[in-house]
Structure 1
C-alpha cells in the first residue's frame, strides 16, 4: 500500500472505475433481477449484460478487453523514465513482481487456490492472468523498442495467431476450424495445461475436460499481448505533446478504423472472445479506443465530471475492487440486516442481498480512497 500524490490522467481513472463498477454491480444484481422479473422484455435487455455464446460481440464482452487495454494505457506513464537507463534490472524486477502477483491473485479468484485442494488447482484461467501475460509482453517491448517497432511486432502477433489457427492442423484440431471443439487454441490448452486446465478432472488416471468450458489461454496469450499493446499506443498518444484536441481526434479515428477492420476480418476469422481471435482483438480494442477518446474528451478536455469520485473510488483501487468482488462474500451482512424482508420481497430478496454486497465493497473502497490508500501491484 502507498499514498499517491502525483498528477494522474483523470479520464483513465474514471474509465477504469466505470469498467469495475459495471462488472461488480451487474454481476451482483442484474442476473438476480433477471430471474426475479422473468419477463421476455427484460431478457432482451440482458443481452447487453451477457456474453455471447460463441461468435459475435456484446457490450458485456468488452469488460475484460477494456480492463486489459487500460493496463496498457498506464505503461507509458509508469515506465517512460526507465527507457533510457542502461541497467533495467530494477524495472524488470518490478515487472516480474507485478506479473507474479497478478498470477497468484488470478488463481485465488478463479483457480481455486484458496480451496487448498491439489486436485482443483488450475494454473491459467483468469482475467488477471491474461493481464499479466499481456502486460509482460507490452512492457518489455515498450522498454526496449521504438513505437514503430512495437507496431510491427503487434501486427506480427496478430498475424501469427491467425496463421497458426488457420494453417496448423494437429489431431483433428485447427486448419481454419473455429468451432468450440475443433479450434487449435483448444488443443494447445488441453496439451499444455492438461489436468491444470480450468474444470479439468481426473478419472482412472485420465484427464477429462469440461464439455462446457471453452475459454483458451495459452495460444491466446499472443493476442492478450496485442490487446495490452493497443492500450499502450493509446497511452503514448495521451502522454505525447499533441494538443488535447488532436489527442481525442486520434483516439476516435484509430478506434473507428480498428472496429471497421475487425468486423471486415470477421468474414474470414470470426469474432470470438472465448478464444481471443485476432478479429475480436481489433473490434474490442477499437471500442476501447473510442471509449478512451470519449472519456478523455469529456473529462480531461472539457473538464466535465472531473470530480467523479464515485467512479474513481473503483478506478484507483481496481485490483482491490476485483479481488473483493471475486474472493470475498459480504452477503451475510445483508442477510443479517434484511432477513425479515424476505417474506415481503419474495423473488426480489436475493437482489437486495446482492445489492448489499455491492454496497459493502463500495464502502471499503471509499474508505481506502478517502485515506488516499491505493494498492499498487
Structure 2
C-alpha cells in the first residue's frame, strides 16, 4: 500500500489498456452491471434485453457476461506477472526477495478478504473464511510461484494445462462419499465435500463455497493464462498488430475447446469447472486483444480515461464500495436525489481525486 510520488509513479510505457480493462471490469462490479440492467428494463428494447440478461449470474450451469467479471480480474493479475516478476528477475533481483513480496501480497489479500467478510466484528462463529480477495490472493500466489521458479517462459503454460486437466479428472472421476464420481451438483460435487470437511467458517452456498479451496486451485490456471497473455504483450518478436492477432487466436481456440467439452463437462462458475476456465480465459483474451488494439495500438485513448481512473485503484474502490455509504453521501451531494447513476458518479469522483493526488493503493 503506497502513495506514489512523481519519481515512482507508473512509467510512461505502462499499458493503458490493462488499467482500462481492469477499470471496466471493476465498473461492472461496483454497480455498472446493475445500471445496465436498469436501463434495459426501462427501455424494453428487444436488442438490449439480451444485454440486460447477461448482467445476471447464471443459477448453476452455463455462462453469461457477468460470470466473466471475477475471472477477468484474476486473468489481468496474471498479465502483470511478466512485468512485475519476470522483468525484475531479468534485471537481477533475487528470487528470495520476489518470493517474499509474493507471499506478503497473498497474506494481505487473505486478511483483507476476512475484513471484507466482517472479521472486525469478531463474530468468528459465523465468519466466512473464503472470500473474493482471498481467492485472488491464493490463485495469484500459486501462479506467481510457478512463474518465479520456471526457467522457461513456456513452463507456466504447461502448468496451466496440467492444473485444468488434473482438476477436471478430480471433478469427474474422484468418487465422493454418498454421491459418487462425476456429480456436478451443489450437494454432490467434490468441491462441496472438500469445503465441508476442510474449509473453516461459514460456507456461502450452505454446503459449498464458490470461492472454496478447490476453486482457488482451479482459478490459478486462469492467472497463468493471463501470464501467457502478458508474455505475448511484452514480446519484442511480435509487432503490435501481431500481438493482437495472437491473443485473439488463442482466445478463440480456448472458447472452441470449451464448447467442445461443454456438453459433457459444463461450465459452472460456482465450482469453477475447467470448461468454465476455458470460456473465461478465452473471452478474457479477446477482451484484452480488443482493448490493447484500440487503446495502445490505434491510440484511441480519451474515452478510456473514465475506466483508467477506476482500474488504477481497483482494490481501493472494491473495499470502499463495501465500507463507505456512497448512497448516503450521494444524497447529500445531489440534494437527496441519490440513484445508482449518481452513486457510481460519486465513487468515480472519489477515485479521480485519489488519481489527481497520485495515491494508488498497492497490495
Question: Using the alignment, how far apart are the partners of 1:45 and 1:191 within structure 2?
Answer: 39
Q: Could you tell me whether the CA contact under 8 Å between 1:108 and 1:327 is conserved in 2?
A: no
Length-normalised TM-score, structure 1: 0.86
Task: Give 2:133's aligned residue.
Answer: 128
SS of aligned partner of 2:213: coil
1:227 lines up with 2:233 in the alignment: no
Task: Give 1:205's aligned residue.
Answer: none
Question: Using the alignment, how far apart are the partners of 1:299 and 1:336 within structure 2?
Answer: 36
1:88 lines up with 2:95 in the alignment: yes
Aligned in 2, Cα 1:70/1:164: closer, same or farther, shift over 3 Å? Answer: same
Aligned in 2, Cα 1:198/1:245: closer, same or farther, shift over 3 Å? Answer: same
Task: Give 2:347's aligned residue.
Answer: 361
Question: Using the alignment, how far apart are the partners of 1:18 and 1:33 within structure 2?
Answer: 18
User: Which sections of structure 2, spanning at least 5 residues, go unmatched?
Assistant: none
1:14 lines up with 2:20 in the alignment: yes
Task: Give 1:244's aligned residue.
Answer: 240
Q: 2:52 aligns with which of 42, 46, 61?
A: 46
User: Which sections of structure 1, spanning at least 5 residues, go unmatched?
Assistant: 200-208, 342-351
Shift of 1:216: 4.7
Q: 1:24 aligns with which of 30, 40, 61?
A: 30
1:70 lines up with 2:76 in the alignment: yes
Aligned in 2, Cα 1:161/1:174: closer, same or farther, shift over 3 Å? Answer: farther
Equivalenced residue count is: 353
Question: Using the alignment, how far apart are the partners of 1:338 and 1:368 within structure 2?
Answer: 21
Aligned in 2, Cα 1:65/1:174: closer, same or farther, shift over 3 Å? Answer: farther
Question: Using the alignment, how far apart are the partners of 2:161 and 2:272 within structure 1?
Answer: 15
Q: 2:252 aligns with which of 256, 266, 271?
A: 256
Aligned in 2, Cα 1:240/1:38: closer, same or farther, shift over 3 Å? Answer: closer
1:324 lines up with 2:320 in the alignment: yes
Aligned in 2, Cα 1:295/1:44: closer, same or farther, shift over 3 Å? Answer: closer
Q: Could you tell me whether the CA contact under 8 Å between 1:165 and 1:184 is conserved in 2?
A: yes
Q: 2:268 aligns with which of 259, 267, 272?
A: 272
Shift of 1:332: 1.4
1:180 lines up with 2:166 in the alignment: no
Task: Give 2:331's aligned residue.
Answer: 335
Shift of 1:5: 3.9
Shift of 1:286: 0.1
Deviations 1:101-128 (A, max 9, x none): 111122222x22133212222211x222
Question: Using the alignment, how far apart are the partners of 1:40 and 1:295 within structure 2?
Answer: 27
Aligned in 2, Cα 1:153/1:5: closer, same or farther, shift over 3 Å? Answer: closer
Q: 1:57 aligns with which of 33, 51, 63?
A: 63
Deviations 1:149-197 (A, max 9, x none): 2122111111111111111113224501111211111111111114x13
Deviations 1:62-121 (A, max 9, x none): 100110000000110111233354842211111111111111122222x22133212222
1:139 lines up with 2:144 in the alignment: yes
Aligned in 2, Cα 1:176/1:40: closer, same or farther, shift over 3 Å? Answer: farther
1:2 lines up with 2:9 in the alignment: no
1:215 lines up with 2:227 in the alignment: no
Task: Give 1:374's aligned residue.
Answer: 360
Q: 2:172 aligns with which of 166, 169, 172?
A: 166
Instruction: Indicate the RMSD between aligned Cα atoms, in angstroms.
Output: 2.4
Question: Using the alignment, how far apart are the partners of 1:229 and 1:356 within structure 2?
Answer: 37
